[in-house]
Amino acid sequence: MTLDETKAGLDAVEEGPHPSERSTGSSDGKIDDPDGHPSVVALLLRFGDSVSGHRVSAGTQHVVWIDSARNLEILHWLRDDQDHQYDMISDITAVDYGAGRPIDVVYQLFSTVHKRALRIRCELPLDGLEIDSIVELWSAANWLEREIYDLFGVTFRKHPDLRRILMPHDYEEGHPLRKDFPLRGRFSRAEQTRRALDQSVEHSYIAEEMDLGRDPQQAAPIIGTKDGDG
């Protein structure tokens, strides 16, 4: 392999993964046969106008696309209705297909009563990455939604504590799991090092904690400063 080829390979890494053009991945208004999953039948009956698609994926898994504006209402109903009782939220995540396509927020539900699983997806256009938080329904959603906010940049309305979770709270390079984010980050390695060395102790604390550590009698915070012992 010549030097040029090696460089070309590295450039590809800098560009980010290829957007998925072959995958439709969206609802397309298509409704697969909902028989065999009572919750899908019930969702189509009750919220028919908000269901934008239904697929059976990987043989047996039912996926329903719903209107993102009504996610809270529909999930609430799925959790509390006697015939469904999806009391467990297994997972919340997001999918970015790239190429300007909408980002999907994916809810994976499970009912410990009826032993049934259901996947709900909401499409969010790139210019309106906002959706209602479901922390009031499941407190498990707290960190899972923070992770999506951190890595995809989706804002969850009425989330009690929406800040970055895996990346530093003052991370400035964007949202790493988006397709347009290069694998090595936006800043050069030199810039990343410079910023890391430039940080004072206060950078490791969020504003709320800084308030806790501040002695009301003194002007300076007691947790130490850049010049202090930290």
Partner 1 sequence: MSKRTVEFNVGRNPEMGVDGSVVDSPILPFDMPEPDLGTENMLINIGPQHPATHGVLRLVCELDGETVKRVIPHIGYLHSSFEKLGEYRTWNQIVTLTDRIDYLAPLIYNCAYVMAVEKLMEIEVTERCKVVRVICMEIDRIFSHLLWLGTTAIDVGAFTPFLYAFQERERIYKLHEAFTGARITTSATRVGGMMADLPEGWTDGLQDFIDTFLNTLDEIDRLLTRNQIHIGRSQGVGAISAEEAINSGFTGANLRACGVEYDVRKDQPYYDYETYDFEIPVGKHGDCYDRYLCRMEEMRQSVSLLRQALERLPGGPIDVEDPNISLPSKTDCMSDMESMIHHFKLITEGIPAPEGDCYMAIEGSKGELGMYIVAEEGGTKPVRWRIRPPSFVNLSVLPKLAEEHLVSDLIMINASLDIVLGEIDR
User: What is the SS3 string spanning 51-68?
Assistant: EEEEEEECCCEEEEEECH
Tokens of 192: 């990343």
Instruction: Enter the DSSP assignment of 100.
Output: T
Residue 125 Cβ vs partner 1, minimum distance, rounded to whole Å = 18
Taking the least distance from each CB to partner 1, the nearer of 86 and 131 is: 86
Three-state secondary-structure class, residue 15: helix
- Which position among 1, 22, 127, 229 is part of the footprint of partner 1 (CB under 8 A)? 22
Please report the beta strands in 125-178, taking only residues with DSSP state E, as ranges in sequence order. Answer: 130-132, 155-157
Please report the beta strands in 8-141, taking only residues with DSSP state E, as ranges in sequence order. Answer: 51-57, 61-66, 88-96, 103-111, 116-124, 130-132
Residue 139 Cβ vs partner 1, minimum distance, rounded to whole Å = 5
- 162 is a contact residue toward partner 1 (CB under 8 A): no
Which residues within the stretch 168-207 sit at the binding site for partner 1 (CB under 8 A)? 168, 176-177, 181, 183, 204-206
Strands 103-111 and 88-96: antiparallel
Three-state secondary-structure class, residue 181: coil
- 140 is a contact residue toward partner 1 (CB under 8 A): yes
Determine the interface stretch with partner 1 among 27-35, 67-75, 105-113, 125-133 (rule: CB under 8 A): 105-113
Residue 110 Cβ vs partner 1, minimum distance, rounded to whole Å = 8
Instruction: Enter the DSSP assignment of 102.
Output: P
Residue 71 Cβ vs partner 1, minimum distance, rounded to whole Å = 18
Determine the interface stretch with partner 1 among 17-25, 26-34, 64-72, 187-195 (rule: CB under 8 A): 17-25
Which residues within the stretch 41-70 sit at the binding site for partner 1 (CB under 8 A)? 55, 57-59, 61, 63
Tokens of 28: 């397309």
Judge whether 106 and 120 are in contact, CB under 8 Å. yes
Taking the least distance from each CB to partner 1, the nearer of 46 and 163 is: 163
Q: Which of 69, 195, 178 is nearest to 123 (CA)?
A: 69
- 89 is a contact residue toward partner 1 (CB under 8 A): yes
Tokens of 21: 């053009």
# binding residues, partner 1 (CB under 8 A)? 55
Chain contacts with partner 1 (rule: CB under 8 A): 13, 17, 20-25, 55, 57-59, 61, 63, 87-91, 93, 95-97, 106, 108, 110, 112, 115, 117, 119, 138-140, 142-144, 147, 165-168, 176-177, 181, 183, 204-206, 208-209, 212-213, 215-216, 223
